[in-house]
């Protein structure tokens, strides 16, 4: 049932400005449930031929979910991960993404970073494993970019101009 997660989140969603669900890279189960209840989708993408093929399939799947289960679902953005500047594969991938998805590209990229791999290996959030690593700082910048994209909506909900739960 693709509405299980939607029904579970209904009672708590109003208490949060953002609920982020990190899904596996296959299009069923949790991913379908997440897309059914989501307002938007942020697609992480590693440079490479297979990733470019996969994003086309994912965008078609998002369009299908929009038709059958969640008319409000939007593409939040495409986030380049494990980014290696100045490589041919990255250059080609970036060029293709700009041609096909320019308005959806996040400004921030997540660099290839061993600290992120190690944090995952040890089962720790990157920010607790090494808060100052390039990868962690890039993810924090992505969070800021997303908050900034939604600031007018957040300001309308919280007139004091701060997000709920956010301090100084």
* Per-domain residue ranges of the chain: 1-106, 113-154
pLDDT score, position 157: 62
Does the pTM of the predicted model rise above 0.85?
Answer: no
CATH class of the structural domain 1-106: alpha beta
What is each CA distance from 45 to 4, 34, 55, in whole angstroms? 27, 18, 8
Q: Give per-residue pLDDT as tens, 122-167.
A: 999 999 999 999 999 999 999 999 999 888 755 656 554 444 444 4
User: CA 51 to CA 56: how far, in whole Å?
Assistant: 9
């Amino acid at each position: 049932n693709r509405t299980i997660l939607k029904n579970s989140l209904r009672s708590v969603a109003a208490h949060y400005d953002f609920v982020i669900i990190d899904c596996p890279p296959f299009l069923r189960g949790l991913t379908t449930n997440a897309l059914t209840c989501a307002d938007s989708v942020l697609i992480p993408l590693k440079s490479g031929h297979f990733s470019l093929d996969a994003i086309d399939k994912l965008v078609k799947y998002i369009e299908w979910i929009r038709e059958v289960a969640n008319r409000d679902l939007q593409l939040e953005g495409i986030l380049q991960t494990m980014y290696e500047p100045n490589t041919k594969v990255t250059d080609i991938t970036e060029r293709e993404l700009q041609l096909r998805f320019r308005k959806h590209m996040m400004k921030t990229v997540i660099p290839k970073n061993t600290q992120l791999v190690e944090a995952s290996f040890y089962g720790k959030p990157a920010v607790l494993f090494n808060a100052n690593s390039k990868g962690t700082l890039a993810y924090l910048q992505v969070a800021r970019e997303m908050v900034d994209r939604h600031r007018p909506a957040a300001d309308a909900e919280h007139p004091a101009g701060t997000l709920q739960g956010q301090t100084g």
